[in-house]
Amino acid sequence: MRKLFVFMLILFCSFMLVSAQDNWDSEEPSFSSLRTNVGLKFGMVFPGKNYYDKGICYGVSLNFILIENFSIELIGLRFTTKVTKSEENDLSKGALKSIPLQLSIKYQFTKESKFVPYILAGADYILYDHSVDMPEWENMGFKISEEVDNGIGFHVGLGFDIFISNNIALNIDGRYVFSKTNLKSAILDTKSDISVTKEIKDLNIDLIIASVGLKIYF
């Protein structure tokens, strides 16, 4: 997962060098990229644990100009990842649905160019819903249930916009999310009606989110 993030960083730096060339634009654009915009995003999520499968994500973005070269970005995403095996002090095998809500401060390096690279950092509030899928335990007369608290975290990222018209831009974005949550699990013996509960604090669920999208500028 770290190799992917390093690759995206190298790609970002390469585009930064290209954008610095005088002949990047054949003529000066007649628009500014410092404008309010909305967007649609699609991509892949790569969890930081190898027994969490990658998942497809989609969502929307809203960007407001703050001050010179700085803006505030709001993003809501949705994705599902499968937990492929049960580990001690972690989620049991099943499907984890996540809705990250992200608030970012973004700095863009150019204002009047067809190519607009940026960096960002911000806070996350993540809604979780985990459904356990362990039929082998159910066949033995046990029922496992797990409740995952909504998580908090922070993220860093980078990306760039490429304008294909005065008001529409293609966006490529990558970010790393550091997050923690709490897990409550219970195992019920359906024959004796005896249950055992367990609580895990500060469970790490880190993510790499790589996405592409379209933005409409106003």
pLDDT tens for 87-105 read 777 888 889 999 999 999 9
Domain 2-20+30-91+98-128+149-178+203-217 carries which CATH code?
2.40.160.20
In the chain, % of residues over pLDDT 70: 82
pTM for the complete prediction?
0.80
- What is the per-residue pLDDT for 1? 52
The yes-or-no verdict on residue 12 having pLDDT over 70 is no
pLDDT of the residue at 99: 96
Report the b/e string of 153-190 with b at 16+ CB within 10 A.
bebebbbbbebeeeeebebbbbbbbebebebebebbee
Most confident of 29-33, 144-148, 192-196: 144-148
Average pLDDT over residues 134-146: 72
Res 3 pLDDT > 60: no
Question: In the predicted model, is pLDDT for residue 14 greater than 60?
Answer: no
Give the model confidence (pLDDT) of 39-73 as tens digits.
999 999 999 888 899 999 999 999 998 888 899 99
User: What are 109-132's pLDDT values in tens digits?
Assistant: 987 788 999 999 999 999 999 888
